[in-house]
Chain A
Amino acid sequence: MNFSIDKNSILGPISKLVGITEKRSLMPILSNILIEFDIAHTTIYSTDLELSAIGYIEYSAPENKKIVVHGRKFLEILREMDSGEILFQIDENLLTIKQKQTEIVLSLQDPDEFPEVKKISGEEEFVVDGTILLEMIDKVSFAVSLDETRYILTGMHIKGKDGSVTVVGTDGFRMALYEKMLDGVGNFKGITIPKRSLAEMERVVDEGEKVVISIDEKYVQISTKNIVVLSRVIEGSFPDFENVIPVGNENVVRLEKEVFLKGLKKVSSIMGRSEPVRITLSQGKMEIEAESDIGRAKEVLAIDYEGEGISMNFNVRFVMDVISHINGGTVIMSAPSTYGAVLFREEGDSYKNIVMPIRV
């Protein structure tokens, strides 16, 4: 079969899909992508068995044909080609790519060996704007655990209740939680999406485009016009996150976000890897202090505060992560009277962060 395709119409979808191929050579077939040419349109598949993607290209081939080609190598070749038409020639198990003076021949794998990639028709399905989906992922994924000992925490939890979707990320020491009202959301039991799948989803979703999210017990799938990403969910039960959101932390302080962040940054400059930062609240002021082998630092912020005098130690990275993800100019911090979970939030009730202090 001989045909030609414009470089740009094929390069885009392929570059989005190739990230999902297997990099280690445990199953060599998974380093490949399956391209299904059809007289109606062309479909590309990639998978590493945990995570799969299907891409659609508006291209009508002269005949139906399936090929399996090495993903990253194919992408590399396409990138190096000049813009414009590229000629493809498929024989028995060889793919010849031609353009001007260039001719590259790639050997092909047997399409029957490629694992089946099947879309799910989810039990739960709703539509979300790409911008909102990206925001939801961004607001909680920084808190997702990297430690595989508690595997369930290495993903973002997503749960539907009364027309709103809640996403949660936690590493067991801090937790970010974002809630959004969305049309067409029913009540659904939470599932946990692996961190890696989130990264791929972020890569394929564009701001403003319509995204359909489908969920069943074992899989979660996001579909845009041109691409579908399908991920296995992490099995196991996610900890009861609702139960650890502190209620009645009555020592509330409103801080100017930039000033708070700057203060933390200044103080943390003298810190090593593991020292905590100490935050002390007293009438009208907040003190941020740190001490390490090389010295000590202190920043005093004037604040509007009438609560009790309290002092807490934190992992400074946790606090800075939270502040930098808060929208608007204000951070609202609520601390309990007894040493324990501190709540950080922005104006409104949709975004909450809980940070556990470090024992003294």
Chain B
Amino acid sequence: MAKIIVCVDMDAFFASVEQQDNPALRGKPIAVTGAGERTVITTSSYEARSYGVKTGMTVYEAKRLCPELILVVGNNRKYARICTRLQEICLRFTPDTETYSIDEIFLDITGSHHLFNGPENLAQAIKDAVRSELGITCTAGIGPNILIAKLASDLAKPDGLLWIDEAAVPSALDALPVKKLWGIGSHTEEKLRAMGITTCGELGRASVSLLTKKFGINGERLKAMGNGRFERPLEIVSPEPKSIGHSITLPRDIWKRDEITPCLLRLSERVGRRARRHGYKGKKITLTVRYVDFKTFTRQTTLPASTNDTSEIYRAAVAILDGIRLRKSVRLLGISLSSLGKDERQMALFQDADREKRAAMAKAMDAVNDKFGEHSITFASTIGEEKDHKVISPAWRPSGVRKSDV
């Protein structure tokens, strides 16, 4: 049986939430940013978008395009809470949902739409519930797979509802620029253009051998996408995480080692704490450095044994840092732990006093922070650090390992 997938996509999510909470912002060009002076636009309202304000722009650029732009510092906890409630609403209609990002949820309604008088009525019911319970609007796209459902929601934005059923797929895609397809970025678009392919229809008709030559094993998948076919099923059970990481845009550019290391310690503690909470250990440590000019690079190291110990993560990160000659001041730092495995519950024959002591200390610190809030107890050298200016990651999820503190 052909599947029926719904993509529920919140309209200008963070901005809508802020406008809902503060009537003075409604109908005005606003942009949500991170905290701190040096941050970027995370979301802008539709009013601001008409001026060309886009996600990822610096505040300076955005202000130049739209001088009357109102800036609002994002409140991540609020968005996380609403994301969780959105998921709860969707679960009333089917148990098979995938929270793809903080503001997009996919639902597989193949087996349940008949209970709600068909796909369109079901989607309308979700939209109504979101509007009445969360006070904001969303767009629902319906299609035979997530590619088409996502496309439908993109085309119907904002506050829309569009069903592209299997029969309508060819006509919907024929003249559509390839870049509109989910997963085709400017890089792929550029390569396709060089081959004379600009629309999905052309992509669907292109020869597989030609595409395979250019894109390798992805060639076949691209052709299928051009024809509106997409194999990926919903990830209803969230897959095992591949990495656990945190990053921070610094309140000001820094370059001295003794300014950088406290930040690394703080990041190491957050990474270690999240890994410990979910019982993961990792073998690879990756350090991300972004210079003032936004040039970003990563370096990684593999530890001899898996760890979730803050001091081991920290030492590895500092060792990487010491191996780099910084060429400019640093704007952002990030640490992530990968090659993850579940924490060993295998009991040891011989006692390693040192390791046990550190694990016991981490456990005690975690318990204090669980009870009294993050950073209630922390390393003395990080105390001088100002509060983090976090921007909620698109990878955030309402539950599981990806639920980081916001």
Contacts and interface: CB of A to CB of B under 8 A. Distances in A.
Interface of A: 147-150, 170, 172-175, 239-240, 244, 274, 276, 315, 340-341, 354, 356-360
A360 B304 CA distance: 26
Contact of A147 (B305, B341, B348): B305
Interface of B: 304-305, 341-342, 345-350, 352
A273 to B, nearest CB: 9
A172 B348 contact: yes
Contacts of A357: 347
Contacts of A354: 349
B345 A358 contact: yes
A150 B351 CA distance: 12
Contact of B348 (A149, A173, A240, A274): A173
B349 A174 contact: yes
B304 A149 contact: yes
Chain B binding surface SS class: loop
10 contacts: A147-B304, A149-B304, A172-B348, A239-B350, A244-B350, A274-B342, A354-B349, A356-B346, A356-B347, A356-B349
Nearest to A151: B304
A246 to B, nearest CB: 10
Contacts of B345: 276, 358-360
A356 B305 contact: no
Contacts of B352: 150
B239 to A, nearest CB: 12
Contacts of A149: 304-305
B349 A175 contact: yes
Contacts of A170: 349
A358 B350 contact: no
A30 B305 CA distance: 30
B279 to A, nearest CB: 12
Nearest to B307: A149
A244 B347 contact: no
A341 B304 contact: no
Which 4 pairs of residues, A with B, have the shortest CB-CB distance?
A: A356-B347, A359-B345, A149-B305, A149-B304
A311 B333 CA distance: 48
Given A172-B349, A174-B349, A356-B346, 6 more contacts: A150-B352, A172-B350, A173-B346, A175-B349, A274-B341, A276-B345
Given A147-B305, A148-B304, A358 B349 contact: no
A76 to B, nearest CB: 34
A240 B350 CA distance: 8
Contacts of A148: 304
Contacts of A358: 345-347
A341 B349 contact: yes
Contacts of B341: 274
Nearest to B345: A359
Contacts of A239: 349-350
B112 to A, nearest CB: 25
Nearest to A244: B349
A356 B346 CA distance: 7
Contact of A359 (B347, B349, B350): B347
Contacts of B342: 274
B304 A315 contact: no
Contacts of B349: 170, 172-175, 239, 244, 341, 354, 356
